[in-house]
């Protein structure tokens, strides 16, 4: 029996999917996206906001913005200072009771996953392995995040509920949950992280499960925000010096945090005690991750 030539690409596509990494979506969502991408190249409704679409072979870093040349990096004046003064490489604005971030999601650090023909390429660190043929590609991520985050004390929403991303880093990149692609563990997948602790999944979405090393390296730096509106910090916690306490930088012990990596204290950016997450050991992932299995608050939405 002959196999139709039309069927061969479809078979290859299915084989390729079985080796894809780190799906925060369900497998069927991911397949549908990939099929759409094959059918027609993705056109971002938000392209006029995020600047020139980045092409890996010509990507360079703009030393003024510290983002890839051509990408728009802007935070509107009505955003609170902790966002306005810290977030870049995306386009942030306020819309009603939400913050909206639009992101091409291209890292402002070198990566193996730009591909060897890119000026932004660098080899993997010793001992690291390539995540197959996955390469960084420009995305059309739109985050709509509640500006007054609400704590959700029961029926918490899982972080593995099919989100395109569960948060955005201060340098405009996707945060992924504490799970790997089915059949894999994050502890294994960690071996495919580049020198900045990121890697792309099968449709080119570069992301961090772990601390983004050009943002935070075992310190109390602000890393980003999850889609429930609560901030994510590095391993340590610095209390606010202007709120009656003394500034300190303790290493947060896991026992000081709830199961979702969070606690309520002041921080450098918040003079009143405010819930926030930390990069810490995760018992599901069995490595340190940025988020646990549940959001503390009610998540907003993400489209891509």
CB of 94 to Zn ion, least distance (A): 25
Cα–Cα distances in angstroms (integers) from residue 226 to residues 73, 108, 265, in the given order: 19, 20, 17
Angstrom distance (rounded) from CA 103 to CA 224 = 13
Interface size with Zn ion, residues (CB under 5 A): 2
Please identify, among the stretches 16-24, 28-36, 66-74, 94-102, the one whose residues bind Zn ion according to the rule CB under 5 A.
16-24
CB of 149 to Zn ion, least distance (A): 15
Q: Which is nearer to Zn ion, 23 or 88 (CB)?
A: 23
Angstrom distance (rounded) from CA 277 to CA 230 = 7
CB of 60 to Zn ion, least distance (A): 25
Q: Which is nearer to Zn ion, 70 or 200 (CB)?
A: 200
Give the number of other Cβ atoms within 10 Å of residue 248's Cβ: 11
22 is a site residue for Zn ion (CB under 5 A): yes
Q: Which is nearer to Zn ion, 227 or 237 (CB)?
A: 237
CB of 145 to Zn ion, least distance (A): 20
205 is a site residue for Zn ion (CB under 5 A): no
CB of 163 to Zn ion, least distance (A): 13
Degrees (nearest 5) of the Cα angle 95, 150, 267?
A: 90
Nearby residues of 47 by Cβ (< 8 Å), 6 or more positions away: 53, 140
DSSP assignment of 245-282, as one string? SPP--PBPPGGGS-TTSEEEE--SS-SS-EEEEE-EEE
- Contacts with Zn ion in 220-239 (CB under 5 A)? 237
CB of 8 to Zn ion, least distance (A): 29
Please identify, among the stretches 22-30, 53-61, 102-110, 112-120, the one whose residues bind Zn ion according to the rule CB under 5 A.
22-30
Helix (H), strand (E) counts: the chain: 5, 17
CB of 70 to Zn ion, least distance (A): 26
Angstrom distance (rounded) from CA 183 to CA 74 = 39
| Total residues belonging to the chain | 304
186 is a site residue for Zn ion (CB under 5 A): no
Contact 192, 129 (CB under 8 A): yes
Q: Which is nearer to Zn ion, 100 or 237 (CB)?
A: 237
Please identify, among the stretches 20-28, 78-86, 117-125, 241-249, the one whose residues bind Zn ion according to the rule CB under 5 A.
20-28
Angstrom distance (rounded) from CA 34 to CA 25 = 12
Residues near Zn ion (CB under 5 A): 22, 237
């Amino acid at each position: 029996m002959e196999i139709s030539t039309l069927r061969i690409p479809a078979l290859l596509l299915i084989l390729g999917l079985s080796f894809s990494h780190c799906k925060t979506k369900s497998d069927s969502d991911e397949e549908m996206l990939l099929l759409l991408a094959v059918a027609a190249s993705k056109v971002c409704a938000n392209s006029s906001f995020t600047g020139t679409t980045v092409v890996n072979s010509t990507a360079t870093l703009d030393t003024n913005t510290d983002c890839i040349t051509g990408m728009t990096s802007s935070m509107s004046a009505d955003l609170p200072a902790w966002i306005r003064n810290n977030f870049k490489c995306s386009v942030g604005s306020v819309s009603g009771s939400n913050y909206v971030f639009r992101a091409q999601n291209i890292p402002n650090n070198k990566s193996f996953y730009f591909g060897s023909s890119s000026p932004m390429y660098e080899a993997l660190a010793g001992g690291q392995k390539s995540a197959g043929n996955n390469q960084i590609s420009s995305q059309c991520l739109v985050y709509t995040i509640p500006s007054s985050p609400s704590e959700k004390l029961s029926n918490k929403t899982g972080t593995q509920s099919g989100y395109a991303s569960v948060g955005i880093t201060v340098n405009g990149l996707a945060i992924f949950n504490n799970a790997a692609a089915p059949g894999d563990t994050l502890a294994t997948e960690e071996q495919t992280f580049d020198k900045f602790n990121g890697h792309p999944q099968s449709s080119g979405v570069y992301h961090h499960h772990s601390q983004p090393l050009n943002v935070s390296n075992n310190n109390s730096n602000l890393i980003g925000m999850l889609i429930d509106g609560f901030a994510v910090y590095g391993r340590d916690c610095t209390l606010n010096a202007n709120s009656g306490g003394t500034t300190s930088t303790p290493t947060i012990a896991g026992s000081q945090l709830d199961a979702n990596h969070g606690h309520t204290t002041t921080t450098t950016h918040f003079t009143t005690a405010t819930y926030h997450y930390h990069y810490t050991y995760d018992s599901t992932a069995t490595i340190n991750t940025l988020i646990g299995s549940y959001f503390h608050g009610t998540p907003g939405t993400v489209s891509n």
